[in-house]
Amino acid sequence: MKLFRKIAGLLALVSFASAVPAFQVSAAYTYENLQYQETISEIQIVGCDEDVTDLVIPETINDKPVTTIMYGVFRGNENLESVTIPETMQVIAECAFQDCKNLKKINMPETYVDIAGGAFSGTRWELLTYNQPVTYLGNMVYKTNLGENQEEITIREGTLSIAGSAFWNDKNLKKVNLPNSLLYIGDKAFSYSGLTSIEIPESVLAIGEDAFRGTELETLTVDENNTHYASSENILYDKDFKKFVFVPSSVTDVTVPDTITEIPEDAFYYCKNLTNITLPETLISIGNNAFYRCENLTNITLPENLISIGEQAFENSGITEITIPASVQIIRNGAFGYCPNLKSVRFAEGTKIIPSDLVEIETIFDDYDTENNWMIGWTETSYEYWGAFLHSYALEKIYLPSTLQSIEENAFGSCKNYQNQFDIFYQGTRTDWQNVTISEQDNSKMESGGNESILKANMHYMPASDKIIAGDVDLDEKTTILDLIILQKYLLNQYRLTEQEFARADLNQDSVVNIFDLCILKKNLVS
């Protein structure tokens, strides 16, 4: 139904009707054996007498066109045998004629009618047409039933639309040839089918939501004269290449046009073959689940103008390292969560805050009322900050800029590397680091550990000076007991030295850091 709403603006009609049980009147108006409600410009059918057998729906009532049959109006009417739909009809909603077991004749107009998937399910007509490879209802493809040996199908000329879910889950289908008369492709029309090849003809005006979801299209093209859609690299866009419409899971190497400003929600969801993607500098937003489970996507460069990264945007992807531009202001819950290969995260110079996402959590409690012999239950709502890197256990290195001012609560929750503490490389001095605000709220209570992993990380300070001070292992421009502790941890294989730290820890200048350097440092500190 979403397809027609975009065209005719009838969203409110269907949502209202969904609350109306079969045969109940939702308005105080009756016309012969029908009940209807009236708007300023049209009539919507909301009820019907149960004893009707041969129904002719009028074109007009009160000089207004009859445009809509609402949700479930005739559902379960076993007396209904035939129905004639007028040319003024625009929408037949979900379940409108569901389980009308004796309905065997449906007279449709030559005009386009948006018929929801399942509108005629359970009818005698549907049973009689079950074995047909393609079932047409008026000028619409209503449903299909292809055999194992029928992988390619040609829709007859004159067809105006393909109903929602018409080819849903039809694994036998590989290729469909669409006629030049086709105007609309319904919601989920080919969803989860075996479709591998399709060309969108010039005539198509609108394609419904999730029309090709779950398919592995190898060839997707659009007639160059189509005024609403275009394609590139087997990806379906709007005509101006400003919005994604559909991305097949079979894509491998993608260059996103510089007309795109947003990667929408689920755009590359589970594109398991995607190995490389180039994002334009025009991009400002990456939506929820945009690259979820792109398991072979190991590297991606985020553009400098990016502002927002959505919830679980890269969760379970194959990325091994990522640089977050300073322009990023929003990183939603689990944006880089559960990334099994993510070892390195770098926040660009200029970054001031590493944000967390405030998440609403509903906890359901139940108890047993022994006096009344029933279960009683209640729900409590709480709020918790969840970080972008939740459960990225492989994380080894985090690079933080000197401009950093704060790390919000739970930003790196549950991302502790269980083999070793991870290392933080901070582009500043120890004194600078002590001025960074790190939220410690409820660290001990959170299952994710809050920011505990940050507070316990191996710190590496990276001052701008290249001057080497012997024994200054922590690079704070002086030699103290802290340098001795770090050197001891290194010798116990509990700390990894950077190149700069190694140069300062090698007190006897033999290109090896060992127990002799430790002894020299102890002696220097004592003296």
**Are the beta carbons of 55 and 48 closer than 8 angstroms?**
yes
Judge if 392 and 269 occupy the same domain.
yes
Q: What is the CATH number of the domain that holds 277?
A: 3.80.10.10
Judge if 273 and 372 occupy the same domain.
yes
Interatomic CA distance for residues 147 and 23, integer angstroms: 38
Judge if 491 and 389 occupy the same domain.
no
Dihedrals φ, ψ of 3, to 5°? Answer: -60, -50
Closest CA relative to residue 392, chosen from 346, 349, 439, 448 = 448
- Predicted confidence at residue 470, as pLDDT, reads 85
- Predicted confidence at residue 442, as pLDDT, reads 54
**Tokens 């105007």 identify what position?**
183
Last residue of a domain, one of 401, 426, 453: 401
The Cβ of residue 303 has, within 10 Å, a number of other Cβ atoms equal to 16
Interatomic CA distance for residues 425 and 196, integer angstroms: 48
Judge if 269 and 376 occupy the same domain.
yes
Judge if 259 and 397 occupy the same domain.
yes
Interatomic CA distance for residues 170 and 181, integer angstroms: 23
Interatomic CA distance for residues 524 and 522, integer angstroms: 5
| Host domain of residue 513 | 466-526
Q: Estimate the crossing angle of helix 515-526 against helix 481-491, to 10 degrees.
A: 170
Degrees (nearest 5) of the Cα angle 210, 213, 216?
150
Q: Which residues, listed in sequence order, are joined to residue 86 by a DSSP beta bridge?
A: none
Q: What is the CATH number of the domain that holds 488?
A: 1.10.1330.10
The answer for residues whose C-beta is within 8 angstroms of residue 191's C-beta and 6 or more apart is 165, 167, 168, 169, 210, 211, 212, 213, 214, 215
Interatomic CA distance for residues 259 and 277, integer angstroms: 15
255 within a domain of the structure (yes/no): yes
The Cβ of residue 220 has, within 10 Å, a number of other Cβ atoms equal to 24
Last residue of a domain, one of 401, 425, 444: 401
Judge if 293 and 382 occupy the same domain.
yes
Strands 175-177 and 152-154: parallel
- DSSP H/E element including 346: strand 344-347
Q: Which amino acid is at 267?
A: A
Rounding to the nearest 10 degrees, give the CA dihedral for residues 507, 512, 514, 520.
-20
Dihedrals φ, ψ of 482, to 5°? Answer: -65, -35
- DSSP H/E element including 376: strand 374-386
- Predicted confidence at residue 16, as pLDDT, reads 35
Judge if 480 and 391 occupy the same domain.
no
Closest CA relative to residue 4, chosen from 78, 99, 73, 68 = 68
Last residue of a domain, one of 374, 401, 428: 401
Interatomic CA distance for residues 167 and 150, integer angstroms: 13
Both structure tokens of 146: 């292809």
pTM over 0.75, yes/no? yes
Degrees (nearest 5) of the Cα angle 322, 324, 328?
150
Judge if 375 and 290 occupy the same domain.
yes
Degrees (nearest 5) of the Cα angle 56, 58, 60?
175
355 within a domain of the structure (yes/no): yes
Degrees (nearest 5) of the Cα angle 297, 301, 307?
115
Interatomic CA distance for residues 202 and 192, integer angstroms: 25
Strands 423-426 and 458-461: parallel
Closest CA relative to residue 92, chosen from 118, 111, 110 = 118
41 within a domain of the structure (yes/no): no
Closest CA relative to residue 453, chosen from 482, 424, 426 = 424
449 within a domain of the structure (yes/no): no
314 within a domain of the structure (yes/no): yes
- Predicted confidence at residue 3, as pLDDT, reads 45
Digit-by-digit pLDDT tens for the chain (527 residues) are 444 333 443 333 333 333 333 333 344 589 999 999 999 999 999 999 989 999 999 999 999 999 999 999 999 999 999 999 999 999 999 899 999 999 999 999 988 888 887 889 899 998 888 888 888 998 999 888 887 778 899 999 999 999 888 899 888 899 999 999 999 998 899 999 999 999 999 999 999 999 999 898 999 999 999 999 999 999 999 999 999 999 998 899 999 999 999 999 999 999 999 999 999 999 999 999 999 999 999 999 999 999 999 999 999 999 999 999 999 999 999 999 999 999 999 999 999 999 988 887 777 767 666 666 666 666 778 777 788 888 888 888 999 999 999 998 888 877 765 455 788 999 988 888 989 998 876 544 445 557 777 888 888 887 666 667 888 888 877 888 888 888 888 898 888 888 888 888 888 888 899 998 888 888 888 87
pLDDT digits (tens, 9 = 90+) for 173-217: 999 999 999 999 988 999 999 999 999 999 999 999 999 998 989
Question: Which of 453-492 are b and which e, b meaning 16 or more Cβ less than 10 Å from the residue's Cβ?
Answer: bbeebbbbbbbeeeeeebbbbbbbeebeeebbebbebbee
The answer for residues whose C-beta is within 8 angstroms of residue 60's C-beta and 6 or more apart is 43, 66, 88
Q: Which amino acid is at 53?
A: T
Judge if 287 and 374 occupy the same domain.
yes
- Predicted confidence at residue 9, as pLDDT, reads 38
Judge if 290 and 392 occupy the same domain.
yes
346 within a domain of the structure (yes/no): yes
499: three-class secondary structure by DSSP: helix
109: three-class secondary structure by DSSP: coil
Judge if 397 and 470 occupy the same domain.
no
Interatomic CA distance for residues 44 and 85, integer angstroms: 13
Rounding to the nearest 10 degrees, give the CA dihedral for residues 155, 158, 163, 169.
0
Judge if 346 and 473 occupy the same domain.
no
445 within a domain of the structure (yes/no): no
472: three-class secondary structure by DSSP: coil
Q: How many domains does the chain have?
A: 2
292 within a domain of the structure (yes/no): yes
